[in-house]
Amino acid sequence: MSKRSTGQTTRREALFLGASAAFAVAKGSARAAEAKSESPDPKVKTPQWSLAIDLDRCLRCQACVVACAAENNIAPAGPQLSQTMRPIHWMEVLDPQARGRLWELGPWPAPVPCMHCERPECVKVCPVGACHRADDGIVVQVWDRCIGCRACMVACPYGRRSYNWTAPAWPGGDASAVNPDVAIRPVGVVEKCTLCQHRIRAVTERARLDEEPVQDEKILRLPACAAACPSRAITFGDGSDPESAVSKLARSARAVYLLAHLETHPRVFYLRGKR
């Protein structure tokens, strides 16, 4: 390139780069702030979604795992990739002995989705605001904003976040069975359980259109995992409604929260011990 005097041009360049970066960050965080600081309509009470998993009904059959993969367009990893790292499973039946830390589950494996913590560690570390907590309690991961730094994966004490090391590939390249309600994540983003947020949105929108409240009996099995479970071990509902099934389960003596000492206050809890 042409000669330039060292001092001047670098300063100009530095100013230009600094201004662009500041602009980008400001724009990004403005959007993120907007997303977070919604003041909800005081007339409408926002439901606080919660999920209960009854370990005395769960046969560990992994129907929930496959239902989640089918609902959320999680492509199979294939034999090669499965050997080097675990295939992506938002809902996974984890072996507590192998992992050693989810000790509240007891000695047996159990299905573990994202905990949707009230005080999420992942949100604290996301540099771009891709991960934040919505007003209804769901910890949202915005795929398009994620830059793939994986800090959230390190931060999550439950280890329930997965990274797209490769672009999703369906067997034979046939993506016909893709669910149009869930975006396909590209390579390089972190993904995790959304509590089937698309299904929740459809139900709440329908309720607003019909001008009727959402009925607890109709949403007991709303997420794909809960709908598929052959022994009805998974229950979903509004934790802020004291009469909902999931609230009653939360008040049960059998209710237990994973890694309670970390005070993440998960919205997903377990029922342990014989019923």
Based on CB atoms, which residue is closest to another protein, 197 or 244? 197
3-state SS class at 161: coil
| Closest by CA position to 219, among listed 192, 193, 247 | 247
Based on CB atoms, which residue is closest to another protein, 44 or 251? 44
Residue 275 CB, nearest approach to another protein (Å)? 6
Residue 231 CB, nearest approach to another protein (Å)? 4
Based on CB atoms, which residue is closest to another protein, 11 or 45? 45
Helix ranges, the chain (H): 6-36, 63-71, 78-84, 96-99, 121-125, 151-155, 197-210, 216-219, 224-228, 245-250
Residue 107 CB, nearest approach to another protein (Å)? 8
Do residues 111 and 120 touch, judged by C-beta distance below 8 A?
A: no
Do residues 193 and 90 touch, judged by C-beta distance below 8 A?
A: yes
Between CA 265 and CA 273, with CA 269 as vertex, the angle to 5 degrees is: 130
Based on CB atoms, which residue is closest to another protein, 110 or 190? 110
| Closest by CA position to 231, among listed 110, 66, 61, 70 | 61
Based on CB atoms, which residue is closest to another protein, 261 or 274? 274
Residue 5 CB, nearest approach to another protein (Å)? 19
| Assigned token pair, 31 | 């959007």
Residue 120 CB, nearest approach to another protein (Å)? 14
Do residues 166 and 188 touch, judged by C-beta distance below 8 A?
A: no
